[in-house]
Amino acid sequence: MLTFNLEGMIPAQITWVESFHDVVDFLLEDVPIDVFICQDYEDTNKLLKYLLTVNVAIPYILVGPGEVVDPDSFPDIRLLERVDSIYSVEQIADVVVDAIENEVIVPEKDNTEFFRIATELLLKVVPLKADIYIRLSKIKFVKMFRKGREFKPDDAKRYLESKKVNYLYIKKDDMNEFIGHFQNMLENILNSDHLSSEDQALLSASVHESIAEMQKLVGFTPEVKKLAEEGVRLTLRSIGKSPKLKNFMSTLDQYQGSYFSAHAIATAHVSCALALALHWPSDTTFKKLTLAAYFHDIALDQPEFSEFDGVDHILNTKPDFGGETEKRYRSHPYLASEMLKDIAEVPPDVDVIIMQHHERPDGSGFPRGLRHSQISPLAAVFIVAHDYVRFLFEDRYLLGREGFKRRFDYSEDSLKGTFKKAVEAIEF
């Protein structure tokens, strides 16, 4: 009830958890926490002791008479206010708002000292000799394994399966060791047949995510460039010679990582499947579409923007979107196509596909507002595939072909040429 009443009263996301163990599980997830609202229960004592143990002093509001929890026992953790009752909703909201306005609670900036790795991927590159951390918030990290102790498969499984921790962290200074293990892992996979196409697709998404993280931290160094090229090879191998849309659905459901990488690998699969359906089955075509899928959003400053259809969709969700952020977003197709030139020798058309991936057949897209007759055939296939991947994540169980066309504004006037053929080739 408290959570429900507070929503809309304070400028923050509110999450309710029931017990101390639930709080710890939540802390171990990849989510920033700025303040706790705690009741006067024994579990709050356990939480405050735990925070001291891991050297994390997140401020809190104590709700209740203070008969169980004694704030004086935890002087290093700031008590913002003691509130008499959970029904004092306005008082609690005022405390949080005042703390934000007075910068007692400050929105945290990402800590660029650490590099995020999917726990599933760490399973593939162990043993790894590096300090390994769990993130409690954007700037708070707790060391779980010390350098010199090998992080082994059993450790990774414990965090992935038992604790449901999808990401672990190493320091940027230890990245070179990770890259060495990473390269060996990819080379071994590419030289063997022990992974199924489905497992290769899932691994491709984790690989893509790590490469994007590396690029943001250190740029496309020769080592990162080599990893990116091998990541593309792994994705192409998982796609195979005769990709089918239906064969990819169950794989998509199993992926637990970011939408940013999941949609990149899924778009590669779907665009190649559509190209095959349109009788364009050449290796060169598949490589062009896969390269475009792998790198089309690599220039996004905020990966979560990949979850939006375009500028209008972002504005509907984030009214403060604008200025330099919007300018960068609108230019990301161009920036990505330029970055790709520094990564590898690429076949013709890939830069065009990336440049045009946010265009729309009715001319409402960006960056140039091209209509269907001005968009290249491969880019048209890619755009339809990109839309279909969004559809798979959102609405596939609710809408059929006509619903898909309505969702992405494929009117009869604009659904012509390659766009029409690609939409008709989709299996619903």
Q: Residue 31 pLDDT more than 70?
A: no
Which CATH architecture group holds 195-425? Orthogonal Bundle (1.10)
Going by C-alpha positions, the residue among 310, 333, 281 that lies closest to residue 387 is 310
Q: What per-residue confidence (pLDDT) applies to 396?
A: 61
Mean pLDDT of 18-22: 83
pLDDT value at residue 117:
85
Residue appearing with tokens 């029409």: 420
More confident residue, 273 or 176: 273
pLDDT at 373: 94
Euclidean distance between CA atoms 5 and 19, whole angstroms: 20
Q: Find tokens 């020798």 and name the residue.
A: 345
Distance CA(246)–CA(240), nearest Å, equals: 14
Do 344 and 229 meet the contact criterion of CB atoms below 8 Å apart? yes
Looking at residue 173, its pLDDT comes to 84
Is residue 273 predicted with pLDDT exceeding 90? yes
Q: Bigger pLDDT: 281 or 19? A: 281
Give mean pLDDT, residues 394-401.
Answer: 69
Return the sign of the alpha-carbon dihedral for residues 149, 153, 158, 164.
Answer: positive
Classify domain 2-101 at the CATH topology level.
Answer: Rossmann fold (3.40.50)
Q: What are phi and psi of 36, to 5 degrees?
A: -105, 140
Structure confidence at residue 413 (pLDDT): 85
Q: Tell me the average pLDDT across 99-111.
A: 65
| Mean pLDDT to the nearest integer, 384-395 | 88
Indicate whether 136 pLDDT > 90.
no
Better pLDDT: 399 or 300? 300
40 by Cβ neighbours in 10 Å (0-12 / 13-18 / 19+) ranks as middle
**What is the pLDDT at residue 363?**
94
- Token pair, residue 267, equals 């778009």
> Considering only 104-113, 205-214, 313-322, which range has the smallest mean pLDDT?
104-113
More confident residue, 4 or 267: 267
Across 221-296, the runs of DSSP E, i.e. the strands, are none
Asked whether residue 334 carries a pLDDT value surpassing 60, the answer given is yes
Inter-residue long-range contacts of 368-375, CB under 8 Å, 24+ positions, other chains counted: 371/414, 372/414, 372/415, 372/416, 372/417, 372/419, 373/416, 373/417, 375/419
Q: CB burial class (10 A; 0-12, 13-18, 19+) of residue 305? A: buried
Which of 51-60, 183-192, 303-312, 333-342 has the lowest average pLDDT?
A: 51-60
What number of other Cβ atoms are within 10 A of residue 283's Cβ?
9
**Which residues are CB-contacts of 415 (< 8 A; sequence separation ≥ 6)?**
361, 372, 405, 423
352 has a pLDDT exceeding 90 = yes
On whether the CB atoms of residues 337 and 276 are closer than 8 A, the answer is no
- pLDDT of amino acid 5: 58
Greater confidence (85 vs 79) lies with 79
Whether residue 110 is predicted with pLDDT greater than 60 in this model: the reply is: no
Question: Using 50, 70 and 90 to split pLDDT, how confident is the model at 19?
Answer: confident
**pLDDT band of 1, cuts 50, 70, 90:** low
pLDDT at 219: 83
Q: Is the pLDDT of residue 320 over 80?
A: no
CA–CA separation, 127 and 205 (whole Å)? 21
Of 142-146, 162-166, 189-193, 224-228, least confident by mean pLDDT is: 162-166
Is it the case that residue 241 has pLDDT exceeding 70? yes
pLDDT score, position 4: 57
Give the containing element (helix H, strand E) for 342: none
Q: Is this prediction's pTM over 0.85? A: no
CA distance 152 to 123: 8
pLDDT > 90 fraction of the chain, expressed in percent and rounded: 33
Pairing mode of beta strands 79-83, 60-63: parallel
Q: How far is CA 393 from CA 249, 305, 403, in A?
A: 10, 15, 14
- pLDDT band, very low/low/confident/very high, at 107 (cuts 50, 70, 90): low
Q: For the chain, give the mean pLDDT.
A: 84
Task: Report which of residues 30 and 235 the model is more confident about.
Answer: 235
Q: Domain limits of the chain?
A: 2-101, 109-172, 195-425
Quickly list DSSP for 286-335.
HHHHHHHHHHTTTT-SSGGGGGSSSHHHHHHH-TT--HHHHHHHHHHHHH
